[in-house]
Amino acid sequence: MRKIPTNSPSPAKAELPLDLTGPHITTGASAAHRLYQALCEMIVSGLVKPGEPLPPSRSLAKQTGFRRNAVVTAYERLIADGFAEATVGSGTFVAARIPARAAGPNKQKAVVEAPRQGAFSLGCTHIDARAVQHFRAFVGRRMRAFGSEHLHYGDPRGSRELRAAIADHLLSARGLRCDPDQIMLTSGTLHALRIVLSAILKPNDQVWCEDPGYPAARKTITHCGNRAVHVPVDEQGLRVARGRATAPSARAAYVTPSHQFPLGVQMSMPRRLELLDWAKQAGAFVLEDDYDSEFRYDGAPLKALAGIDHLQRVIYMGTFAKTLFPGLRIGYCALPERLISDVTAARAALDRFPGTLMEGAVADMLNSGAFAANLKRVRKLYREARDALAETLETASGGALSVPVPSQGLHLVARFDPSIDLSVAAVAKQAAGAEGWLLADTYSRAQPLPGFVLGFSGHAVPQLVASAERLARESRTALRASGKPARRA
Question: What span, in angstroms and rounded, lies between the C-alpha atoms of 380 and 387?
Answer: 11
- Give me the least distance between CB of 18 and ligand PLP, in Å please: 47
- Per CB under 6 A, does 166 bind ligand PLP? no
- Per CB under 6 A, does 256 bind ligand PLP? yes
Contact indicator for 41, 102 with CB cutoff of 8 Å: no
Nearer to ligand PLP, 56 or 257 (CB): 257
Nearer to ligand PLP, 351 or 391 (CB): 351
CB count in 10 Å sphere of residue 352: 10
* 3-class DSSP state of 257: coil
- What is the pairing mode between strands 91-94 and 451-455? unpaired
Q: How far apart are the first and last CA of the chain?
A: 84
Contact indicator for 297, 327 with CB cutoff of 8 Å: no
With CB under 6 A, what is the number of residues at the site for ligand PLP?
A: 14
Among 159, 189, 260, 457, interactor with ligand PLP by CB under 6 A: 189
Of 20, 214, 247, 2, the C-alpha closest to 123 is 214
Contact indicator for 320, 308 with CB cutoff of 8 Å: no
Nearer to ligand PLP, 256 or 374 (CB): 256
Nearer to ligand PLP, 123 or 301 (CB): 123
- Give me the least distance between CB of 242 and ligand PLP, in Å please: 21
Nearer to ligand PLP, 291 or 416 (CB): 291
Residues 288-307 that bind ligand PLP (CB under 6 A): 289, 291
- Per CB under 6 A, does 66 bind ligand PLP? no
Q: CA dist 423 to 155, 211, 215, 427, 478, Å?
A: 51, 20, 20, 6, 9
Residues 211-230 that bind ligand PLP (CB under 6 A): 214
The residue length of the chain stands at: 489
Segment lying near ligand PLP (by CB under 6 A), choices 4-12, 188-196, 232-240, 294-302: 188-196
- Per CB under 6 A, does 354 bind ligand PLP? no
Among 83, 208, 261, 371, interactor with ligand PLP by CB under 6 A: 261
- Per CB under 6 A, does 123 bind ligand PLP? yes
- Give me the least distance between CB of 121 and ligand PLP, in Å please: 10
State the DSSP string of 406-417. PSBSSEEEEE--
Nearer to ligand PLP, 194 or 244 (CB): 194
- Per CB under 6 A, does 321 bind ligand PLP? yes
* 3-class DSSP state of 440: helix
Among 319, 392, 442, 475, interactor with ligand PLP by CB under 6 A: 319
- x-or-dash string of contact with ligand PLP, 409-438, rule CB under 6 A: ------------------------------
Residue 10, class by beta-carbon neighbours within 10 Å (0-12 exposed, 13-18 middle, 19+ buried)? exposed
- Give me the least distance between CB of 32 and ligand PLP, in Å please: 50
- Give me the least distance between CB of 214 and ligand PLP, in Å please: 4
CB-based contacts of 435: which residues, under 8 Å, 6+ apart?
A: 116, 118, 119, 120, 121, 455
Among 326, 355, 398, 399, interactor with ligand PLP by CB under 6 A: 326
Nearer to ligand PLP, 41 or 289 (CB): 289
Among 86, 190, 253, 363, interactor with ligand PLP by CB under 6 A: 190
- What is the pairing mode between strands 451-455 and 252-255? unpaired
State the DSSP string of 154-190. --TT--HHHHHHHHHHHHHHH-----GGGEEEESSHH
- Per CB under 6 A, does 70 bind ligand PLP? no
386: Cα separation from own chain's centroid: 24
- Per CB under 6 A, does 331 bind ligand PLP? yes
Question: What span, in angstroms and rounded, lies between the C-alpha atoms of 245 and 280?
Answer: 16
Of 185, 229, 224, 228, the C-alpha closest to 201 is 224
- Give me the least distance between CB of 453 and ligand PLP, in Å please: 10
Segment lying near ligand PLP (by CB under 6 A), choices 45-53, 101-109, 182-190, 373-381: 182-190
Query: Closest residue (Cβ) to ligand PLP?
Result: 188
- Give me the least distance between CB of 296 and ligand PLP, in Å please: 16
* 3-class DSSP state of 476: helix
- Give me the least distance between CB of 119 and ligand PLP, in Å please: 17
Contact indicator for 325, 365 with CB cutoff of 8 Å: no
Indicate the residue type of 472.
A
- Per CB under 6 A, does 188 bind ligand PLP? yes
Contact indicator for 238, 208 with CB cutoff of 8 Å: yes
Binding site for ligand PLP (CB under 6 A): 122-123, 188-190, 214, 256, 261, 289, 291, 319, 321, 326, 331
